[in-house]
Amino acid sequence: MREKTHRLNLSAVSEFVLVGLSDAPETRLLLFVLFLLVYSATVASNAALLVAIRADPHLRSPMYFFLSHLALLDLLCPTITVPKMLGALLLEHREISFLGCLFQHFSLIAAVGTEIFLLAAMAYDRYVAVCRPLRYPSAVSAELCARLAAGSWAGGLLNSLLHTSLLFTLSFCGPNRIQQYYCDFPPVLALSCSSTRGTELVILVVAGALGSSACVVTVVSYVYILLEILCRSSPGIWHKALSTCGSHLTVVCLFYGTTICTYVRPSFAYSPHRDRVVSMLYGMLTPLLNPIIYSLRNKEVKCALRRVISRVRSAL
């Protein structure tokens, strides 16, 4: 009976409070306008890229198939966190229920995990396009693309299910103020009253194995691409490879750089102020920059966007 009562007391936290980015009213209003503009631009740019890929018959290659999934993920990631943050800035409604926090955490980890696997699939696609161009149509078939995309989403969901289910095994009895503008894993873990070593170890092993395997595929693909470029002496090969892989490589470096700074470290190294800045990069700026990077460096995407805009204008 004492153990049951003790567990009930430890699980007394029924909601969390998301600490705002600023307590000054004038600063909150400025941040609200700024983040609303960034979020609106992110939604508009990714939606335009998604519509252009789906509507234009010229963008039917595997690269654009994967790019459409990336645009969809870049729509989901900020939508999971930013509306709640905007409400906290404008209405000062910072409370979020325990289940709501877990759902937000599950959705975000699923989107981030899916993107890791999707970037690996895109790297493999670029490897075959550069190193095996004659076998590209048969090697990267529509069936294989569908399987890689489905596997990416399944891997992200399973990884997120592991993270979220382990949070249910922890007890929360003390402070309930999350030092972040959304329910991320490190700040929620820092509020637990029970020992988190076992949880951290399981997540480090499983999520580390999944993430590192996808990272290895990405790195090895680009190593082979680099070796293939160095072995060839044909003129214009560097420009062709840069136009083929430059956009994806830029997105990979931006995504992995910000994600590693947030998740690949022990809990005692958690810094709320630093994590807020880094989470802003991969949670808001990266989804905004991805469609811009692909649009600016890709003539086919720019032409498709122009055709979509011209159709909309003629329809209006």
Above 80 in pLDDT, residue 12? no
pLDDT value at residue 262: 61
The answer, yes or no, to whether residue 10 has pLDDT greater than 50, is no
Confidence of residue 1 (pLDDT cuts 50, 70, 90): very low
Return the pLDDT at 2.
44
Mean pLDDT of 186-214: 80
Confidence label for 107 from pLDDT (cuts 50, 70 and 90):
very high
pLDDT band at 235 (very low <50, low <70, confident <90, very high): low
User: Are the beta carbons of 118 and 69 closer than 8 angstroms?
Assistant: yes
Q: What are phi and psi of 18, to 5 degrees?
A: -85, 115
Whether residue 27 has pLDDT greater than 80 = no
Residue 152 predicted with pLDDT over 70: yes
What is the pLDDT, as a whole number, of residue 3? 45
- Diameter over CA atoms, the chain: 79
Residue 38 near residue 198, CB atoms below 8 Å? no
* Mean pLDDT of the region 276-302: 76
The string of pLDDT tens digits covering residues 29-64 is 888 888 899 999 999 989 988 988 888 888 888 988
Asked if pLDDT for residue 133 goes beyond 70, the answer is yes
Average pLDDT, the chain: 80
Task: Tell me: pLDDT of 126 over 80.
Answer: yes
Mean pLDDT of 85-106: 85
pLDDT(213) > 80: yes
Q: Is the pLDDT of residue 209 over 60?
A: yes
224 pLDDT higher than 80: yes
22-262+271-310: what fold? Rhopdopsin 7-helix transmembrane proteins (1.20.1070)
Please state the domain extents for the chain. Answer: 22-262+271-310
Note the pLDDT of residue 148.
Answer: 94
Q: Is the dihedral of CA 223, 226, 230, 233 positive or negative?
A: positive
Tell me the pTM. Answer: 0.84
User: Residue 21: what pLDDT?
Assistant: 66
Extract the tokens encoding 109: 């980890």
pLDDT at 22: 61
Going by pLDDT thresholds of 50, 70 and 90, the confidence category of residue 212 is confident
Say what percent of the chain tops pLDDT 70: 81
Provide the percentage of residues in the chain whose pLDDT is more than 90: 16
Is the pLDDT score of 131 beyond 80?
yes
pLDDT at res. 150: 96
